Amino acid sequence: MRPPALISSIPTGPTMVLIAIAVIAIASTAHSSPFAEPMRGMTVSCPGYGRVWGSKAFSQSLADLSTLGVNWVAIHPYASIRTHGLVGFTAAHQTGYLARAVQRAKHAGLYLFWKPHLAYWGSFDWRGSIAFTNDASRKRFAKTYRAFILDQARFAQEHKIPLFAVGVELERLTHYEEYWRQLIRDVRHIYSGKLTYAANWDGIRRVKFWDALDYIGVQGYFPLVDKQPPLTLADLRKGWQKPLANLRDLSQQTTRPIIFTEIGYPSAPHAARQPWKTRSFGQNSAPKLRQKLVEVALQLLGRQDMIAGMFWWKWIPGRLRGDFAMQPPEIRSLLRAYWTQNSSSNQHSTEQ
């Protein structure tokens, strides 16, 4: 039996109801923010223009990823880009598969990072080479790219997507600072989530508008060593020292946390020197080196207080193998060891 003093101190009636509501509200708030814990992310990519995101195969991928400790998924709706600057796209709400993707992700309990891409194939070498030599092309790009991003931002707002990228790897266009600042202001008028820009690993210092965003986005394909395998875990950890020091300095200067908007490695002997480069035809695979690279990244990046999270490149539904595919059993084991609850990440290692 409780002491009489305690019993008499417990409120009843309307007061008790109000207290209960307040407690529930506080508890809900404590767990409602998508940003309350580190982003353990995976980019779910696609063959073609993304219809797989609306399929049952996407749902199966999300279920698989959840068992590995993934709590965020990035997808990258496409627009086309022409050499004369025209950005062509289908309105997000007209695709059907994008809305289905959102619903499937929500059903799986995963947060979405919306990362619109320009499909440069047939027009440019890669997104970082997109540039224009005349005013007409620049103006055409500025107008049509803005229309694409604002359309995607409206969709993201409508579906309460918490994280959005205003651009990806547009390395030769970031010097148009006022354009980007105005675009970011326009996006914020219609979108209430968090914003980032995904800069290539060697271009993060050229971006002068980090202060207008919530996160510094990094496509984290940093070269770590300049020698051939075999490489040890210690070699790879040492290789991360300079990039991490640079990122820490940038984060402190801008007072913005870092997100690895992409990070990944091919299964190739050059993966530690040129991680952005796919394996050439006939080249030997190097799964052990890749396994070490993934482990060191999980080990080191998860310990940095300036890093809010990371998104691995990549996972394609129904496709188990490929240069950057994260589905091989040894890679899944690493993700599960470092990202699931109660894992002993300090003890798990492919090599001491």
Q: Please choose, from the candidates 189, 182, 117, 184, the residue with its C-alpha nearest in 3D space to the C-alpha of residue 157.
A: 189
Task: Determine the Cα–Cα distance for residues 170 and 317; give it in Å rounded to an integer.
Answer: 27
Residues 6+ apart with CB under 8 A from 206: 171, 174, 175, 199
Mean local confidence (pLDDT), 253-263:
98
Does residue 310 fall inside a structural domain? yes
- Label residue 16 by pLDDT band (50, 70, 90): very low
Does residue 3 fall inside a structural domain? no
CB atoms within 10 A of CB 85: 21
Residue 31 has pLDDT above 90, yes or no: no
Does residue 74 fall inside a structural domain? yes
Task: Determine the Cα–Cα distance for residues 104 and 110; give it in Å rounded to an integer.
Answer: 9
Does residue 344 fall inside a structural domain? no
pLDDT of 13:
52
- Label residue 50 by pLDDT band (50, 70, 90): very high
Q: What is the mean pLDDT of the chain?
A: 90
Q: What is the pLDDT of residues 193-205, one digit of tens each?
A: 999 999 999 999 9
Q: Please choose, from the candidates 182, 185, 180, 175, the residue with its C-alpha nearest in 3D space to the C-alpha of residue 197.
A: 180
CB 281 within 8 A of CB 258: no
Q: Tell me how many domains the chain contains.
A: 1
- 84's tokens: 């004369």
Alpha helix ranges (H) inside 176-271: 177-190, 233-254
Instruction: Give the strand pairing for 194-200 and 111-114.
Output: unpaired
Does residue 194 fall inside a structural domain? yes
Residue 137 has pLDDT above 60, yes or no: yes
Does residue 14 fall inside a structural domain? no
Does residue 312 fall inside a structural domain? yes
Task: Determine the Cα–Cα distance for residues 258 and 124; give it in Å rounded to an integer.
Answer: 28
| pTM for this predicted structure | 0.89
pLDDT of 32:
67
Q: What is the CATH number of the domain that holds 335?
A: 3.20.20.80
Does residue 30 fall inside a structural domain? no
Task: Determine the Cα–Cα distance for residues 236 and 292; give it in Å rounded to an integer.
Answer: 8
- In what side-by-side order are the strands of the sheet with 87-88? 87-88, 78-81, 117-119
Which secondary structure element, helix H or strand E, spans residue 17, and what is its range?
A: helix 13-32
Residue where the block lists tokens 């996972």: 315
- Residue 122's domain comprises 35-339
Q: What is the pLDDT of residues 155-178, one digit of tens each?
A: 999 999 999 999 999 999 999 999
Q: Please choose, from the candidates 100, 123, 237, 149, the residue with its C-alpha nearest in 3D space to the C-alpha of residue 131.
A: 123
